[in-house]
Chains A and B, each alone.
Chain A
Amino acid sequence: MRGQAHTLEAFVASLLVLGGVAFALQATAVTPLSASTSNQYVGNQERAAALGVMDAAEGNGTLAPTVTFYNTSGERFENSSTDGQYHNGGPPTAFGRALNGTFGDEHTAFNVVVRYRYENGSRGSEPMVDMGTPTDDAVVASRSVVLFDDTALSSASAGTVKSPVNGTFYASDADPNGVLFNVVEVRIVLWRI
């Protein structure tokens, strides 16, 4: 009888201790994936990496050709899915390959949206890459690309952004009186998967 009571007490005590440990594990927020203030450095790193990829692309002149990689007669990005977006990674351009190389193996998903302006400054957007719905702790990195009236399309479509041979470009001329065509923003949303 007395032995049974001791055993029970020991069990209860151990349950309490284990419960405390379990609670403690729940209370800590140190895993890299949990959305909290303590994992922000992961987001910072992702953002810095994305900015680095964009700055490099800007430097070697591959960012603008990705923005103009547009099939003007089909009115969607060249070789994209039927909804006009890429779903399996970046676009098939040098910048897209750089994005895939940087984030493809790192369990990081990204969406890319190209935002452009109308003449009065209001905003329009053209989704380019859609890899899903971002999580709560997704980060955003963006850079501007300036297009001029004589910027040539980098896709198989002939002509310039202002006057393609066939069809229309997604952005319109935001400064019809000058050589400036538009200032578009390449916006990358990144999150861990």
Chain B
Amino acid sequence: MNDRGQLLLVTGFAIAVAIVALVLLLNTAIYTQNLATRSVDTGASDALAYRDTVADNLWPIVADENRKEYAHRSDLRANVSARIDQFTMLSAQRHLEGGASANVTNRTLHDGTRLVQDEGSREMTDATGSKANWTMANGVDGARTFDLNTTGGLENTTVLAADDEAFRVNVVGNGGSGNRWSVYVYRNLAGTHVAIKNGTDAGPTEVCPSLLAGPPKLNLTAGAIDGSNCDAIRFGKGATPPYEISLTYGNRSTGTYNATVNGTPPGVGNFNEPSTSPYEVPVVYGISVDVVYRTSGLQYRARIHLAPGGTP
């Protein structure tokens, strides 16, 4: 009888131990399964979020510096760099606290120039007021805005004589030696006229006559006259970049213009410093930066280009 009691006791213990062992095995299996199926989060979502933050918010900061109308390009570049530094520092802090390094490096600022005349009664001559045929900018790869707002003083002529007599803006391809694109503005008894000579045309053709009533406001980058669509006047058709932009018979129109071009004026003398018309403002036309995000398990680098509204 004593033997039997011992036997039962031992059996009970054995079963208990077996169950505990089984449970431990089961737990290990579950734990392993959990580890194996856990999503591998390397922090990629944070890296992408950082890139988006930079890509979405860097340009407004640069654009604001452009609006400040610095007289010297070196001041503009220094201030733009300082603003980017401060933005980078502020936006990187939360990643630094999480053990990631976030930075905006390898910055390239693309030089651009804003050409402005804001005195509506002034003729479209150069800064001295003596030259009617003059170059506004050369080495231009594109223009973001080109608003030409004529107010009067237009020459009385016809489309046939426009090349010899009318006020016009010229865009000459291949740095000044290629095809010439021109937009002409003039008037005669029939009213005000806008004509276009594409790079491959021999002479000007009148366009969008129904839109015209008095001296027109031309938007050469969007292709609009007085706010209505006129695709025919789009900037630089038939001419190959880099462009040279010039005015001919600038004394035969008064008005204002505001152009932001990816290039620089040919030298001193054609424009004044801000803000005596006509003046040039150094601007940052576009910016390219590397967004770099590093953690112990991730290295992310993306080159982003910011130049909103540029023409190709």
A interface, CB within 8 angstroms of B:
2, 5, 9-10, 12-14, 16-17, 19-21, 23-24, 27-30, 37-38, 40-41, 44, 51, 55, 115, 117, 121, 123, 142-144, 146, 148, 174-175, 177-180, 182-183, 185
B90 to chain A: closest residue by CB = A183
Query: With the chains together, A29 CA to B5 CA distance in Å?
Result: 36
Dominant secondary structure of chain B at its interface with chain A? helix
Known contacts A5-B1, A20-B15, A28 near B23 by CB under 8 Å: yes
Cross-chain contact A148 with B60 (CB below 8 angstroms): yes
Q: If A24-B20, A121-B90 touch, does A146 touch B57 (CB 8 Å cutoff)?
A: yes
Q: How many residues of B contact A (CB 8 A)?
A: 46
Is B93 in contact with A117, judged by CB distance below 8 angstroms? yes
The interface residues of chain A lying within 8 Å CB-to-CB of B30 are 28-30, 38
Determine which of B12, B16, B27, B53 lies in contact with A144 in the assembled complex, contact meaning CB atoms within 8 Å.
B53
Q: Does A38 lie within 8 Å of B34, measured CB to CB?
A: yes
Q: Does B9 contact A (CB under 8 A)?
A: yes
With A29-B27, A146-B53 already in contact, the answer to whether A17 and B12 are too (CB < 8 A) is: yes
- Starting from the known contacts A29-B27, A183-B87, 7 additional A-B residue pairs (CB-CB under 8 Å) come to A38-B34, A41-B37, A117-B93, A121-B90, A175-B86, A178-B64, A178-B86
Taking the nearest CB of chain A, how far is it from the CB of B23, in angstroms? 3
Contact status B64-A44, CB under 8 Å? no
CB–CB B82/A177 < 8 A: yes
22 A-B pairs within 8 Å (CB atoms) are namely A9-B8, A10-B8, A12-B9, A13-B8, A16-B13, A17-B19, A27-B20, A27-B24, A27-B27, A28-B23, A28-B30, A37-B31, A40-B38, A41-B39, A115-B94, A121-B89, A121-B93, A123-B97, A177-B82, A177-B83, A183-B87, A183-B90
Contact B34 A27 (CB under 8 A): no
- Whether B83 and A175, one on each chain, are in contact in the complex, defined by CB atoms closer than 8 angstroms, is yes
A20 cross-chain contacts in B, Cβ below 8 A: 15-17, 19-20
| Least distance between A56 CB and chain B CB atoms (Å) | 13
Tell me if B304 counts as interface (CB < 8 A to partner A).
Answer: no
* B93 partner residues in chain A, CB cutoff 8 A: 117, 121, 123, 183
A144 touches B61 (CB 8 A): no
CB-based contact A41/B34 at 8 Å? yes
**Does B205 sit at the interface, judged by CB under 8 A?**
no
User: Are B19 and A21 interface neighbours, CB within 8 A?
Assistant: yes
Residue in A closest to B46 when the chains form the complex, CB atoms? A142
Q: Is B210 an interface residue (CB 8 A)?
A: no
B141 at the interface (CB under 8 A from A): no
Nearest-CB residue, chain B, relative to A44 = B39
From B5, B16, B38, B86, A174 is in contact (CB under 8 Å) with: B86
Q: How far is the CB of B97 from chain A (nearest CB, A)?
A: 8
Which listed residue, B22, B24, B45, B91, touches A51 by the CB 8 Å rule?
A: B45
User: Is the Cβ of A180 less than 8 Å from the Cβ of B83?
Assistant: yes
Q: How far is the CA of A27 from the CA of B21 in the complex (A)?
A: 11
In the complex, B228 has a CB within 8 A of chain A: no
Chain B, range 28-65, C-beta contacts under 8 Å to A: 30-31, 34-35, 37-39, 41, 45, 49-50, 53, 56-57, 60-61, 64-65
